[in-house]
Amino acid sequence: MKIYSYKDLSEADIEQLCMRQLGDDESIKARVSEIVQEVKICGDDALRSYALQFDKIKLHDLFIGFEEISEIASTIPDDAKAAIDVAYENIKTFHSSQVSKEQKVETMAGVKCWRESRAIERVGLYIPGGSAVLPSTFLMLGIPAVLAGCQQIVVCSPPQKDGKTNSYVAYCAMKLGIKKIYLAGGAQAVAAMAYGTETVPKVYKIFGPGNRYVTQAKQLVQSAAMTAIDMPAGPSEVLVIADETANPSYVASDLLAQAEHGPDSQAILVSTSSEIINKVLQEVEFQLELLSRKEVTSKAIGNSYAVLVQNLDEAIAFSNAYAPEHLILATAAFESIIPSIINAGSVFLGNLTPESVGDYASGTNHTLPTSGFAKAYSGVSLDSFVKKITFQHITAQGLKNIGNTVEVLAAAEGLDAHKNAISIRLKD
């Protein structure tokens, strides 16, 4: 990891450091566009063709139903079942707290306005599979979708080598009451949910992480198919702010935990102490040798860096510029820093709060904005699965009170019909 000194960085340097390098986006965009178009035109036939091409599996049925899901779920190891049960309860508890009802507001006598939530009727959940099955993502997306009351929850996950699904995913489906899992992965799964096929229903909003192909497909269908997505996303990332109270071995483990997601992940260390930076980098080298995904992780570490700052104010300034998906405050002074955090997907406080707990079981959602989008986007929550509809009711007295205001403003804008819609009522 290269080390930078914050005091030597110009504003342009910081902006450049905070840019995420996505490399071969144009070639990926072209390939994804081809896949999406093929699924749009050929439907199920395209999904079967891509399953054979990418997953090396010849599929007859493009989904597994409730009985098969139940049978597969029964094979889950006991310890995994218990772990999913705990994670499920914690995530459900946290997201249940987000259910709220807004009060009606009388903006002036006789004029009442309010908002009500309505669940998005059809949502699509993409659950990565293959060699990197993510049952935790199923919980993170499925629980708020169920709590929100979405009428149709379409789940797509790549088939395993046996042409079925993983027991962990099947068990999550049982917990969530999902009775069908569609066996499609990658950009083709996103396209199937966006346009619909003979088998896969069309949805109104697509959720879920994935590789660059999945991300590109989500962005494409957002405009081409007018299908909403949870958020723009890129490779996973973490930024750790560490001062002299940080534990170097803990910090190193957090950096490596994020780096093992993929070679294009980023793990950024920002510290007030050059000694801490040196100790963390030594620990990174030591711990890296013990990892099963050493090759992938080392590539991500090679794309990462450390920044030496003079104080925590500079550390927060850099973090807000970077806008990390995950922000870890490895400092005893985390309480005083919280109000200064402006841009971050999810924040982990103190030396005993690793990012891993948020990924799996603390209760917060791990589907978060990356690539700097934390400057404008929030992570997935119950609100992601609902729409807020405004209502208003005007009484006769209210119309008298507000009528002249609307007439004057409508006339000022040259919209006579708008003015008349008020005037005609006031005359009665």
- Give residue 185's pLDDT: 95
Written as one letter, the residue type at 300 is A
- Token pair 């772990």 is found at 83
Q: Where are the domains of the chain?
A: 25-229, 234-378, 396-426
* Statement: residue 296 has pLDDT above 60: yes
Mean pLDDT within 214-224: 94
DSSP code per residue over 39-83: HHHHTHHHHHHHHHHHS----SSSEE-HHHHHHHHTTS-HHHHHH
Q: Is domain 234-378 annotated with CATH 1.20.1250.20?
A: no
- Token pair 């994670």 is found at 87
B/e letters for 203-231, b = 16+ CB within 10 Å, e = fewer, are bbbbbbbbbbbbbbbbbbbbebbebbbbb
Rounded distance, CA 84 to CA 168, Å?
8
Mean pLDDT, rounded, of the chain: 95
Structure tokens at 360: 């799996």
Mean pLDDT within 55-72: 96
211 falls in which pLDDT band (50, 70, 90)? Answer: confident
- The CA–CA distances, whole Å, from 400 to 105, 110, 391, 395, 405 equal 18, 9, 19, 9, 10
- The CA–CA distances, whole Å, from 179 to 63, 69, 98, 182, 184 equal 10, 7, 26, 10, 16
Answer yes or no: same fold for 25-229 and 234-378. yes
Instruction: Calculate Rg over the CA atoms of the chain.
Output: 25
Decide if 11 is catalytic: no
C-beta atoms surrounding 412 within 10 Å:
9
C-beta atoms surrounding 113 within 10 Å:
13
- Give residue 26's pLDDT: 85
CATH number at 25-229: 3.40.50.1980
* Statement: residue 318 has pLDDT above 90: yes
- pTM for this prediction: 0.94
Q: Of residues 38, 260, 283, 325, which has the active-site annotation?
A: 325
Decide if 68 is catalytic: no
Residue that wins the pLDDT comparison between 124 and 235: 124
Q: In this prediction, what percent of the chain has a pLDDT beyond 70? A: 98
SS3 assignment, position 208: coil
Out of 39-53, 118-132, 395-409, 411-425, pick the least confident.
118-132
Rounded distance, CA 145 to CA 137, Å?
12
Rounded distance, CA 222 to CA 86, Å?
35
- Token pair 């068990």 is found at 171
- Give residue 25's pLDDT: 73
Rounded distance, CA 362 to CA 106, Å?
39
Q: Of residues 95, 326, 355, 366, which has the active-site annotation?
A: 326
Rounded distance, CA 367 to CA 136, Å?
10
Q: In what order do the strands lie in the sheet with 237-242?
A: 2-5, 305-308, 266-271, 237-242, 326-330, 346-349
- Give residue 20's pLDDT: 84
Rounded distance, CA 234 to CA 212, Å?
7
